[in-house]
């Protein structure tokens, strides 16, 4: 089973403009058994990035795995902190990485499920 996803390393932005294609690219990789995504080259993000990453994580959980998102840019970490979902996005983020931003409390994994 492959460790990393080279195709996502080419991703330089994760915004509303490319969220749908990035989402599908990630979901295809998860279905193929990918467990690690490297986002080192992502420079431009907006709130759509958080939604995409949560959907990827949920898909990985439904497939019986945990998705590891590596090298998240600081602006993306800050968005996950702002929305209180930092620990849901990646298990590799430390407690310090997920420190409170804007007074929002962290969510539990059970909050990830839609009703």
Domain range enclosing 17: 6-105
Number of compact structural domains in the chain: 1
Q: What is the H or E stretch that residue 53 is in?
A: helix 47-62
Q: Please state the rounded mean pLDDT for residues 4-20.
A: 83
pLDDT tens digits along 26-62: 999 999 999 899 999 999 999 999 999 999 999 999 9
**Is 110 contained in some domain?**
no
CATH number at residue 13: 3.30.750.24
Average pLDDT on 74-91 reads 89
> Taking residues 94-109, what's their average pLDDT?
57
**What's the mean pLDDT when you consider all of the chain?**
82
On whether residue 49 sits in a domain, the answer given is yes
Mean pLDDT of the region 81-99? 80
CA dist., res. 72 & res. 42, Å (int)? 8
Examine the pLDDT at 97 and tell me if it is beyond 50.
yes
pLDDT at 31: 93
Is residue 115 included in any domain, yes or no? Answer: no
Cα Rg, the chain, nearest whole Å: 13
Asked, for residue 112, whether it belongs to a domain, the answer is: no
Closest Cα to residue 97, out of 53, 51, 88?
Answer: 88
Q: What average pLDDT does the segment 60-65 reach?
A: 93
């Amino acid at each position: 089973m492959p460790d990393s996803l080279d195709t996502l390393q080419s991703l330089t932005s994760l915004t509303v403009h490319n969220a749908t294609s990035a989402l599908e690219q990630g979901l295809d990789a998860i279905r193929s058994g990918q467990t690690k995504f490297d986002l080192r080259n992502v420079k431009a993000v907006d709130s759509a990035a958080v939604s995409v990453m949560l959907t990827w994580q949920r898909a990985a959980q439904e497939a019986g795995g945990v998705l590891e998102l590596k090298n998240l840019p600081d602006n993306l970490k800050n968005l996950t902190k702002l929305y209180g979902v930092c620990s849901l996005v990646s298990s590799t983020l430390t407690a310090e990485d997920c420190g409170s931003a804007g007074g929002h409390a962290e969510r539990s994994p059970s909050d990830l499920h839609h009703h």
